[in-house]
Amino acid sequence: MTALCTALPAQLSLLLVDDHQIFLDGLSLALAPLCADLQIRTAESAAAAEAYLQHATFDLILLDLRLPDMPGLELLQRWQQQGRMTPVAILSASDSNLDAQAALAAGALGFISKSANSVLLRQAVTRVLLGETLPAPQADDKPQLTPRQLEILQLLAEGLPNKSISRQLGVSEDTVKTHLKSLFQEFAVHTRTACVSAARQRGWL
* pLDDT single digits (tens) 179-201: 999 898 888 888 898 888 888 87
Query: What is the C-alpha radius of gyration for the chain, rounded to an integer number of angstroms?
Result: 19
Q: What pLDDT band is residue 165 in, cutting at 50, 70 and 90? A: very high
- DSSP E strand boundaries for 1-138: 11-17, 37-43, 60-63, 88-92, 110-113
Q: Residue 116: pLDDT above 60?
A: yes
User: Rounded to whole angstroms, how far apart are CA atoms 33 and 68?
Assistant: 30
pLDDT digits (tens, 9 = 90+) for 133-154: 887 665 544 456 788 888 999 9
Burial class (CB in 10 A: 0-12, 13-18, 19+), 205: middle
Closest by Cα among 100, 94, 91 to 15: 91
Fold entry, domain 147-201: Arc Repressor Mutant, subunit A (1.10.10)
Strongest mean pLDDT among 96-100, 102-106, 170-174: 170-174
What strands lie across the sheet with 88-92, from one edge to the other? 37-43, 11-17, 60-63, 88-92, 110-113
Quick one: angle between helices 192-201 and 173-187, nearest 10?
A: 50
Buried b / exposed e over 91-110, threshold 16 CB at 10 Å, is: bbebebbbbbbbbbebebbb
CATH architecture of residue range(s) 2-129: 3-Layer(aba) Sandwich (3.40)
pLDDT at 4: 46
Q: Is the distance from CB of 183 to CB of 153 less than 8 angstroms? A: yes
Closest by Cα among 32, 136, 128 to 88: 128
All structural domains of the chain with their residue ranges: 2-129, 147-201
Assign residue 32 a region (left: φ > 0; alpha: ψ between -120 and 50; beta: otherwise): alpha
Q: What pLDDT band is residue 5 in, cutting at 50, 70 and 90? A: very low
DSSP 144: -
Average pLDDT across the chain, whole number: 86
